[in-house]
Structure 1
Amino acid sequence: MNPARTMNPIAWWNNPWRPPRFLVAITVGYLVWSLLPVVIAIAYSFNDGKSRTTWQGFSFRWYWGDQTLSVWHNDALHTALLQTLKLGVLATLITVPLGTLFAIGIDRWRGRLPAGANFLMLLSFVLPEVLLAVALLFVITTVAVPVQLGTTAQVIGLVTFQVSYPAVLVRARLATIGPQYEEAAMDLGASPLGALRRILLPMLMPAVFASTVLVFADVIDDFVLVRYLSGGASTEPVSVKIYNTARAAPTPALNALATLLLVAALTAVVIGFLVYRRMTRGDATADRGIGGFTGEA
């Protein structure tokens, strides 16, 4: 048993082997500063009145109680929520297979060309999102391409920006696995494609699944790309809808909408992490902690 878990708080505070006090204070202060505004915003989504600063009682009015302004009854909020989920599903379904294939190809390919492609992939990983959004907006509105602003443009932008995430996660998993399993399968008579399909891909599934969850959670929270590439009110997701209406006498319905989006993202990540741990049970090559799930291992 870990002695730190059974140590009382006073003894832990006086323990010379504990982390320095100022580091603990900085960590706690950062967490409070980061989470307190979110907690306040969520709390006022349950406010009974229209104020977002004065508490007037607990109620589910802004979720479904109000017959015109609640999230359940407001058509504009419905449209934004559905657009967010649509973009999340479409972008994830396209991004994860592309990123997985890209990672496998770069891992197998040797030479200057794949090194350049790998550099471009990493460049897109750190490329400022606003720069990519402005560039895509310029291409779509200036160059003669068969794409209009709206859902299609938003999906293209999100896939372009997100494809590096599954590529990095899958490549990290490939480095952990190594080539020996495929080589053993081919020594036993499997074709290269058969070894890839029956040996490598099942071993990559934890990284692929983690990529799917993280990309979906990131896409539904995106703001810059989807705002620049939006084609009007009908293609505005939740993030853009909140931004556009936050300064025009907003009601706590916006808090409720943001809370639902937060719950969806957290639910996806929690379910993904639990499934990831189940998929990697008994796998000695995988880090089953949160670091492995996010690709930091």
Structure 2
Amino acid sequence: MSTRALRGPIGWYRDPWRRPRVLAGVTVLYLAWSLLPVLIAVLFSFNDGRSRTNWQGFSFRWYWGDQTRSVWHDAALHTALLQTLKLGLITTIITVPLGVLFAIGIDRWRGRLPSGANVLMLISFVIPEVLLAVALLFVVTTLALPIGLGTSAQVVGLVTYQVAYPAVLVRARLATIGKQYEEAATDLGASAFGALRRVTLPMLMPAIFASTVLVFADVIDDFVLVRYLSMGASTEPVSVKIYNTARAAPTPALNALATLLLVASLAAVVVGFLVFRRMTRNDDTTGDRGIGAFAGEL
């Protein structure tokens, strides 16, 4: 009798939890279809020749070896990479604290106004990014504001679009924690602010750190907002630079630039996962501390 067959009260029947081979095959095909083009693009970033389709040997020419066209020596590519990292860092530093404060505020504030603010926050998940980009472009270029097109407008647009992510993650964490820990702290003599600072915020750190990783990884990959709000080549990040030069007979330096962006995103996720595991080592409210729990936070 097969190990996938079990004996029941009315006889033998097939195990409903047997390995789903069809679903596993579909998953493998999907992963191959998704990752294979990325791996090919990364591979040709190490091509020794100028071709992006014919392999001509392994080399770091397009990273730093070529004295004029490599990412390290080409001023335009160098500027795009630095602009991407700058937007990611500045936006993350501004967005995460705002999202945390917003989440705590609407979690404790009762009434129609916070309910409306919560609905408006959730709308950002469904509003088309291009619509927000065009609206911000109109505001920046038409109204008399202290900001103009370029880095400042890009940061404002990205913060506006990203602030909902930490707010939602932190609110979910607040719902998991409950109010009993903070109430116990106040019963022991702590002030409301002291209980928030010394009890609630440390317990929110896994969600806060997951929000930081999510925002940074999403910002450095953004295209629509930063393209509409850029001001010339000096404020074009990697995504816009790739779009503008992809059809103009580019060299594998463009593949190298995209590979560096991919490495930055993967590094952020890996570091975030390791720190998340360390932070939740003795946390019973988080449950499984593996990659599944971290993906759940994200």
Residue 217 (structure 1) aligned with residue 217 (structure 2): yes
1:90-169 map, 5 Å: 90-169=90-169
1:252-263 map, 5 Å: 252-263=252-263
Letter in 2 for 1:200: T
> Residue 172 of structure 1 contacts residue 295 of structure 1 at CA under 8 Å; is this kept in 2?
no
Q: Which residue of 1 aligns with 2:71?
A: 71
Q: Which residue of 2 aligns with 1:173?
A: 173
For residue 165 of structure 1, report the CA deviation from its aligned partner: 0.6
Q: Which residue of 2 aligns with 1:84?
A: 84
Q: Which residue of 1 aligns with 2:54?
A: 54
Q: In 1, Cα distance between the equivalents of 2:102 and 2:296? A: 16
Q: Which residue of 2 aligns with 1:197?
A: 197
Letter in 1 for 2:223: F
For residue 295 of structure 1, report the CA deviation from its aligned partner: 4.0
Cα deviation, 1:247-267, whole Å, max 9, x if unaligned, reads 111000000010011001100
Q: Which residue of 1 aligns with 2:293?
A: 292
Cα deviation, 1:109-155, whole Å, max 9, x if unaligned, reads 11111111000111112221111111111111122222210000000
For residue 56 of structure 1, report the CA deviation from its aligned partner: 0.8
Q: In 2, Cα distance between the equivalents of 1:294 and 1:168? A: 14
Which deviates the most, 119-128 or 157-166?
Answer: 119-128
Aligned-residue identity in percent: 80
Q: 1:127 to 1:289 in 2, by over 3 A?
A: farther
Letter in 2 for 1:36: L
Letter in 1 for 2:164: S
Q: Which residue of 1 aligns with 2:271?
A: 271
RMSD over equivalenced CA pairs, Å: 1.8
Unaligned runs of 5+ in 2: 4-13
For residue 217 of structure 1, report the CA deviation from its aligned partner: 0.8
Unaligned runs of 5+ in 1: 4-13
Letter in 2 for 1:252: P
> Residue 169 of structure 1 contacts residue 295 of structure 1 at CA under 8 Å; is this kept in 2?
no
> Residue 71 of structure 2 contacts residue 78 of structure 2 at CA under 8 Å; is this kept in 1?
yes
Q: Which residue of 1 aligns with 2:29?
A: 29
Which deviates the most, 215-224 or 20-29?
Answer: 20-29
Letter in 1 for 2:280: T
Q: 1:114 to 1:140 in 2, by over 3 A?
A: same
Q: Which residue of 2 aligns with 1:188?
A: 188
Q: In 2, Cα distance between the equivalents of 1:295 and 1:117? A: 24
Q: In 2, Cα distance between the equivalents of 1:177 and 1:100? A: 15
> Residue 207 of structure 1 contacts residue 293 of structure 1 at CA under 8 Å; is this kept in 2?
no
> Residue 103 of structure 1 contacts residue 170 of structure 1 at CA under 8 Å; is this kept in 2?
yes
TM (normalized to structure 1)? 0.93
Q: In 2, Cα distance between the equivalents of 1:45 and 1:99? A: 37
Letter in 1 for 2:230: S
For residue 282 of structure 1, report the CA deviation from its aligned partner: 1.4
Letter in 2 for 1:278: R
For residue 201 of structure 1, report the CA deviation from its aligned partner: 0.6
For residue 16 of structure 1, report the CA deviation from its aligned partner: 6.6
> Residue 210 of structure 2 contacts residue 297 of structure 2 at CA under 8 Å; is this kept in 1?
no
Q: Which residue of 1 aligns with 2:8?
A: none
Q: In 1, Cα distance between the equivalents of 2:232 and 2:180? A: 52
Q: In 1, Cα distance between the equivalents of 2:88 and 2:57? A: 34
Q: In 2, Cα distance between the equivalents of 1:65 and 1:138? A: 43
Letter in 2 for 1:135: A
Q: Which residue of 2 aligns with 1:9?
A: none
Cα deviation, 1:12-65, whole Å, max 9, x if unaligned, reads xx9873343321121111111100100000000011100001111111110111
Q: 1:264 to 1:173 in 2, by over 3 A?
A: same
> Residue 81 of structure 2 contacts residue 237 of structure 2 at CA under 8 Å; is this kept in 1?
yes
TM (normalized to structure 2)? 0.92
> Residue 276 of structure 1 contacts residue 293 of structure 1 at CA under 8 Å; is this kept in 2?
yes
Q: Which residue of 1 aligns with 2:233?
A: 233
> Residue 213 of structure 1 contacts residue 269 of structure 1 at CA under 8 Å; is this kept in 2?
yes
Q: Which residue of 1 aligns with 2:41?
A: 41
